[in-house]
Amino acid sequence: SEMPPAIRIERLKRHYRDLPVTADFFACAPDGSFQSRPLGPGEYVLHVSNVPYKIRVLVTKNEGVVISDIDMGTSLQQSIWETLDMKQVGRWSIENERITRLLSHKESAAVTAELLRIVKDGKSPYSWKENAITALGKMTDRAGVLDNLLLLMTVDEDDMQTSQIIRALENSKQANEKIIRTVSQFRNHSNQRIRWASYYTMRKLAEADASSRELAIPLMIDMLDDPWYRIRADVAGTLGFLQAEEALPALAITKKDRIGQVRVWAAWAVWKISGESQPAIALMTSHLYSTNYSGKWEAAYLLDSFEELPPLTVTALLEASNYEVKPPYVGVVFERNRIKRSAISTLKKRAPNALEK
């Protein structure tokens, strides 16, 4: 079949002579993704810089670009859209400023309703949704917010948005048991981003109060056999940080994981819970002497946790501190560089005299 003609973004400028200011446009696809390439047939949402308008356009094969809707919005909506469209200046993120403005708005009920509408609207720009979800995560004490987010999380087919909603709920100050029970349903999801978000939100809620901790720990123990090694390592470290005694049998198995990074974090966790330092130090020291880089940086970094280090461990750290590294810091050189930096940091704190020799 014949490929339809593509419409370049620049051509869209000709159709907006009635706008009160000169504006630059970029198009968003229905899923909110930025379209830098020529536009094929379909419906799009246009961003107009410095103008709080939502403009829907229809790109067709025969007629080119056709405006299907211009929504000027209410003054409140314009204020919210302008806040969501705030651009980052320089290196510093302005996400906190966006969220603060939305949280402090005097018309709280109306702001909440508009943010929920944006999240539910399949045509909303992705950047708006992302910031709206983050703000709503801090508004779960407002009527209807938590129930709507939990519902969206379970029915939404957009994996990225689902993971964002799960992460946003880590800021909740109420109904944590309900959140944990819902979020935990995603701990076996096929998408590793969603599984990690599920783990991390349960962790943050478990750190917040005792009842959440009791509920979340068994669920996180189940994640010690997650397919992704980073989740296994992070969960092991969290169980140690929470000093979850019920996790010791599972962590003993995790200490034999096929990935060094996971083994090191599991050993550290067992020490945090049991107080037995020698097995953990011995395992980390063996990783420093290993020819495999997996777990070396974690070992050099986590050995900083122990008050006293045996001579063999100090020697291993000294050897790591003498790694030769040259830019560019990529691949193996990147690993050697961060192992070296962590080894030096640990020696400065735990064996400063060794560095002076």
pLDDT in tens, the chain (357 residues): 333 333 333 333 333 333 333 334 445 444 444 444 445 566 655 554 444 445 565 655 555 555 555 555 667 887 887 788 775 544 445 677 888 888 888 999 999 999 999 899 877 777 788 889 999 999 999 999 999 999 998 887 788 899 999 999 998 877 889 999 999 999 999 999 999 999 999 999 999 888 899 999 999 999 999 999 999 999 999 999 999 999 999 999 999 999 999 999 999 999 999 999 999 999 999 999 999 999 999 999 999 999 999 999 999 999 999 998 877 777 888 999 999 999 999 999 999 998 886
> What does the pLDDT look like over 74-85, one tens digit per residue?
678 878 877 887
Instruction: Output the pLDDT for position 45.
Output: 58
Instruction: Output the pLDDT for position 20.
Output: 34
> What does the pLDDT look like over 268-285, one tens digit per residue?
999 999 999 999 999 999
Q: Distance between alpha carbon 47 and the CA centroid of its chain, in Å?
A: 25
> What does the pLDDT look like over 130-172, one tens digit per residue?
889 999 999 999 999 999 999 998 887 788 899 999 999 998 8
Structure tokens at 225: 């056999």
Instruction: Output the pLDDT for position 126.
Output: 75
Instruction: Output the pLDDT for position 94.
Output: 66
* Residue 69 to residue 58: CA distance in whole angstroms: 9
Q: For the stretch 88-120, what's the b/e string if a residue is b when 16 or more beta carbons lie within 10 angstroms of its beta carbon?
A: eeeeeeeeeebbebbeebeeeeebbbbbbebbe
CA-to-CA separations, 286 to 195, 279, 354, in angstroms, rounded = 31, 11, 19
Instruction: Output the pLDDT for position 273.
Output: 98
Question: Can you list the pairs that 203-211 forms with residues at least 24 positions away whose Cβ atoms lie under 8 Å?
Answer: 203/238, 204/170, 204/171, 205/170, 205/172, 205/176, 205/179, 205/180, 206/238, 206/242, 207/242, 208/173, 208/176, 209/176, 211/176, 211/177
* Residue 285 to residue 117: CA distance in whole angstroms: 54
